[in-house]
A = this chain, B = another copy of it.
Amino acid sequence: MADAAAALHRWLDRLVLRSDLGPQEREAILALPGEFHYIQANRDFVRLGERVDRACLVVSGMAGRFGQSRNGDRQITAFHIPGDMADLHSVVLPTAATALHSIGEATIYRVPHDAIRSATRAFPALAEAFWRDCTIDAAVLSQWALVNGRLSARARIAHHLCELSCRFAVNDGGAAFPWPVTQAQLGDATGLTAVHVNRMLRDLRLMGAAAVRDRTVQILDRRLLMEIGEFDPRYLDLHKAT
């Protein structure tokens, strides 16, 4: 089985980008108990309205947070990559107002809320760090609302690719990154149909901005892609971001 400390370390790396944590606090994070779960491709693993008592750390693959309208249309409200605690908010709001879905195959590490709560009681700085992380999550969502509400289809897609590129780039270069997301799922995130997503991706490819090949996004011209998507990475609060 995989290594819990390694999985938690990726999350810790994300946290310390934004919050100052001392050695004891870091150790408290790395010592969090939990279990690994393998999730089959494209499965809902947290249902809407379900009451949860564990939070999900993405270890490998991707996850999507989503809501659903009456006729079954889905709106993805967040993509989560390895190192993201996808539903940290469930610690303070255990009834999921939002569901989780694996994007392709995924592995998660489920940490009991109790353990997280005792860590925050012992170390107030952790409570603040978690609160901050949830707040950045909300800032990202706020940006999605702006992008999906006000930009053209092409710009929305360009913006999403830029965002994911930056978030992956915290660890490496970011010119290419894994992309298990189907065009239908990208449509669910941008409020478009799969057909239109396909045409916009073709445009971006023909413009030489970005291309998806082999479940991987290739950024061909970052400047151009950012221009098309009106992308400014400041909202991500990744101090190292390009």
Residues of A that sit less than 8 Å from B by CB: 49, 65, 67-70, 73-75, 77, 89, 92-93, 95, 97-98, 120-121, 124, 127-128, 130-132, 134-139, 141-146, 148-151, 190-191, 230, 234-235, 237
Q: A93-B237, A97-B235 are in contact. Are A131 and B142 (CB under 8 A)?
A: no
Q: A124-B127, A151-B69 are in contact. Are A141 and B138 (CB under 8 A)?
A: yes
One complex includes copies of this chain to the number of 2
Contact across chains for B120 and A73 when beta carbons are under 8 A apart: no
If over half of A's interface residues share one DSSP class (helix, strand or loop), that class is named, otherwise mixed; here it is helix
> CB-CB < 8 A to A144: which residues of B?
145
Subset of 12 A-B contacts with CB under 8 Å: A67-B145, A73-B150, A75-B150, A92-B132, A93-B132, A93-B237, A97-B235, A98-B139, A124-B124, A134-B138, A138-B141, A149-B190
Residue of B whose beta carbon sits closest to that of A235: B97
Contact across chains for B145 and A77 when beta carbons are under 8 A apart: yes
CB A110 to nearest CB in B, in angstroms, measures 19
Q: A127-B127, A127-B128 are in contact. Are A75 and B135 (CB under 8 A)?
A: no
CB A78 to nearest CB in B, in angstroms, measures 8
Residue of B whose beta carbon sits closest to that of A68: B146
Contact across chains for B146 and A77 when beta carbons are under 8 A apart: yes
CB A239 to nearest CB in B, in angstroms, measures 12
Give the docked Cα–Cα distance between A139 and B135 (Å): 11
Residue of B whose beta carbon sits closest to that of A74: B150
> CB-CB < 8 A to A70: which residues of B?
230
Partner of A134, one of B75, B134, B142, B234: B134
CB A69 to nearest CB in B, in angstroms, measures 5
CB A96 to nearest CB in B, in angstroms, measures 10
